Amino acid sequence: MKFSVNIDHIATLRNARAEIQPDPVTAALLAEQAGVDGIVVHLREDRRHINDRDLKLLRELITTRLDLEMAATEEIIGIACETLPDLVTLVPEKRQELTTEGGINVIDNFSIIADAIAELHKFRIPVSLFIEPSQEHIEAAIECKTDFIEIHTGIYANCPTEESAFDELERVRQAAKFAKKHGLGVNAGHGLNYKNMKDFRELTDIDEVSIGHAIIARAVLVGLPQAIKDMLNIIKFGF
Ligand code: PXP
């Protein structure tokens, strides 16, 4: 299982004081040195954390893979086609939300999503759809001609009991298996942390996890390289 780090909240901290520090680009380079497989950023319509300058510099400087999370809007699709990230992950975006609140509804937004994928494919950008672990959404994602899905793990992460977490993990496992069987790449993310990754790492059909908040929260206290090494140990060895 590969591990990409989402560095949005380095930019959240910077923007809290309209400062230039901490710099998410420096953080990305440090994260690469510490062993991550890729860097994830979400360029939001309101630019509340990552901004256009960050994206441009990241594209120039990082040597792993750049996964650009974004809404399927005309403006941001245009930016993606200029920037050429290694992957675009389409997510739903609401102005008032604190963070992405769930998977994209591919069924209700079919033509918007299919058109966005077709446009990005013209620029040879592979696309992932952030969706719930449900067979009908995966089927719609396949019809949209996506290359990857990213399974929303927020429900798993927020399960109040061990039993409910076990059931939700099983739902994710089945969804990943179904997607894999149909030739999709399978990523996962949202709410994954140092505790719940101990079970999650066992899902063999997940190619890559994208983790942000837990890493940055730990990094503030112990440093980013250490926070990344701690997560790599859990993913690789389970502790
Ligand atoms: N994947 C997607 C699509 C997301 O929107 C986010 C949050 O930005 C993440 C993964 C990472 O979630 P977290 O910050 O909870 O690790």
CB 79 within 8 A of CB 55: yes
R_g (Cα) of the chain, nearest Å: 17
Q: Write down the pLDDT at residue 93.
A: 81
Looking at domain 2-237, its CATH superfamily turns out to be: Aldolase class I (3.20.20.70)
pLDDT at 97: 73
Please state the domain extents for the chain.
Answer: 2-237
Q: Is the CB–ligand 1 distance for residue 190 below 6 Å?
A: yes
CA dist 123 → 45, 59, 81 (Å): 21, 15, 6
pLDDT at 101: 74
Sign of CA dihedral 165, 171, 174, 180: negative
For residue 208 and ligand 1, the question of a CB distance below 6 A is answered with: no
Distance, CA of 131 to CA of 92 (rounded, Å) = 9
Q: What is the pLDDT along the chain (239 residues), one digit of tens a residue?
A: 999 999 999 999 999 998 899 999 999 999 999 999 999 999 999 999 999 999 999 999 999 999 999 999 999 999 999 999 999 999 998 767 777 778 999 999 999 999 999 999 999 999 999 999 999 999 999 999 999 999 999 999 999 999 999 999 999 999 999 999 999 999 999 999 999 999 999 999 999 999 999 999 999 999 999 999 999 999 999 99
For residue 216, the CA-to-ligand 1 centroid distance in Å is: 12
Write down the catalytic residue from 42, 49, 137, 152: 42
Query: 91: number of CA atoms within 13 Å, CB side?
Result: 27
